[in-house]
Amino acid sequence: MRFVPTAIPGVWAIEQERRVDDRGFFARTWCGQELADRGLEARLAQCSVSFNHRRWTLRGLHYQAPPFAEVKIVRCSRGALYDVAVDLRPGSPTFRRWIGVELSAETGRALYVPRGFAHGFLTLADATEVSYQISAPYHPEAARGVRYDDPFFGITWPGPVEAIAPRDRDYTDTSVEHLQELRGL
């Protein structure tokens, strides 16, 4: 695995080192030791998958409130998507900044999203499947989110949002009360 730093410290693109032969290829997609060697979270508590029928489907931007904040490694196993991580840590020098990375089954690239970040994506192809490796169990009572078009963050998406869950569409603009809760991230 190759770890490529992004413009936001702590967020990494993880590229596969494919071993190619006449059958196809083999590549490692997760290695606890390689993560730990870089000071990254190596705990794996849960794996999840998301399937999206249509191009321009948006999921997110989600995070878990403290003390249940989680690390995610997100990979596209079918199709393509634009993956976004938003820094929600008020004391961080990159607070409110976001990074967008195209992930596809073709490239095998993944995104490491640390604690304190909201995560979401927009599909770029029909029948897109996304797999997640997550450091902590899901706690529904801690599930939170910020709206994909909240002007507080100013995310530029590469296309129109045509399918979105009501919950994701209806998050309110970021407020002072919201920022107080984020202090624990």
The model's pTM is: 0.92
- Catalytic one of 53, 62, 138, 178: 62
Q: Which residues on adjacent β-strands are paired with residue 142?
A: none
The domain segmentation of the chain, as residue ranges, is 2-182
**50-93 pLDDT, tens digit each:** 999 999 999 999 999 989 999 999 999 999 999 999 999 988 99
Q: Which CATH class is domain 2-182?
A: mainly beta
Q: Is 132 a catalytic residue?
A: yes
pLDDT band for position 173 (50/70/90)? confident
CB 148 within 8 A of CB 157: yes
- Catalytic one of 63, 112, 132, 171: 132
- Rounded Cα gap, residues 130 and 153, in angstroms: 24
- Rounded Cα gap, residues 104 and 109, in angstroms: 7
Q: What number is the average pLDDT over the span 141-146?
A: 94
**152-168 pLDDT, tens digit each:** 999 999 999 999 999 99
Q: Is 119 a catalytic residue?
A: no
Q: How far is CA 32 from CA 53, 61, 69, 101, 125, in A?
A: 32, 26, 19, 23, 31
3-state SS, residue 129: strand
